[in-house]
Amino acid sequence: MSIKISQHISLDPLSLTHSAAILQQVNDSRTHLAKYLYWVDKVTDLASCQQYISQRINSGLPHAQWHAIIFKGEMVGVFAIKSVEEQGIAEVGYWLAKPATGYGIMSQIITSASAKLLRETPAKIIEFCCLEHNVASIKLATNLGAVFSHKLNDYTLYDGSVQAVKVYHKTL
């Protein structure tokens, strides 16, 4: 079932039918996405894209929800509630293709998703895990009212480089 966020933004349940669209967006935005997302270099063809989707939608994590982001009728990224822990912490994850950035899409989705989380899960806190050099993600979290919670040092990226992860929490 599609979730309408605004006139131009909706979330569709992520499925293998999104494979071709995701592959196209990843290919078109590969440099932009690979800067912070470890999995981008592994998504190179339709089979690897289907594996990417399957791993996420079949994660088995509690209350996990994965969605294709639809903007003006086009699939432009993915939004997820990766899981909701027993303590009520809901980790969000997302990515947008480069042409879809700058429209406030993620702000609108996360603001709208907060109300949905309250109704359908035991979530009390939205958690943003941001690589320390990902200024855009940190800015999004803080602009939405999230506050710094803690830092995870020595997070190793796929290329062997090391960054810390800054964790922000927003109480629902």
pLDDT tens sequence across 25-61: 999 999 989 888 889 999 999 999 999 999 999 999 9
Domains of the chain: 3-171 (3.40.630.30)
Region 53-72 average pLDDT: 96
89 within 8 A of 123, measured Cβ to Cβ: yes
Pairing mode of beta strands 65-71, 125-131: unpaired
Closest CA to 110 of 14, 11, 2: 11
For helices 19-28 and 46-57, the axis angle rounded to 10 degrees is: 110
46 within 8 A of 19, measured Cβ to Cβ: yes
Beta strands, E only, 31-161? 65-71, 74-84, 89-96, 125-131, 147-156
Structure tokens belonging to residue 122: 């035991």
Q: In sequence order, what are the residues at sequence separation of 6 or more whose Cβ sits closer than 8 angstroms to the Cβ of residue 31?
A: none
Query: pLDDT for 107-156, tens place per residue?
Result: 999 998 777 777 888 899 999 999 888 899 999 999 999 999 999 887 76
88 within 8 A of 128, measured Cβ to Cβ: no
Q: Within the chain, how many helices (H) and strands (E) appear? A: 5, 8
Q: Is pTM beyond 0.75 here?
A: yes
